[in-house]
Homo-oligomer: A and B are copies of this chain.
């Protein structure tokens, strides 16, 4: 895994709210963005921002269905990250 991607993921995981979002997404196969909007106490703008961070980091993929967004965890990237942690630290 490239150091750049690795660092972007580490940063993405560092914010509590963002991690909560990721955790929520990881909890099911695919999650409707609206559902998140209803559960997280943040504005649409902030949520959108966090989702883009997660997508840029490669952790989440966003599928657009008409005007609805559906989020899902990219498990391959996630596992690669965990593997890299083990490789670099122990």
Indicate if the CB atoms of A89 and B26 lie closer than 8 Å.
Answer: yes
* Minimal Cβ-Cβ distance residue in B for A82: B85
For chain A, the count of residues having a C-beta within 8 Å of the partner chain is 20
24 A-B contacts (beta carbon < 8 Å):
A7-B16, A7-B19, A10-B10, A10-B13, A10-B14, A11-B14, A13-B13, A13-B14, A14-B14, A22-B89, A23-B88, A23-B89, A26-B88, A26-B90, A73-B89, A73-B90, A75-B90, A78-B89, A78-B90, A79-B90, A82-B82, A82-B85, A82-B86, A85-B85
Residues of A within 8 A of B (CB): 7, 10-11, 13-14, 16, 19, 22-23, 26, 73, 75, 78-79, 82, 85-86, 88-90
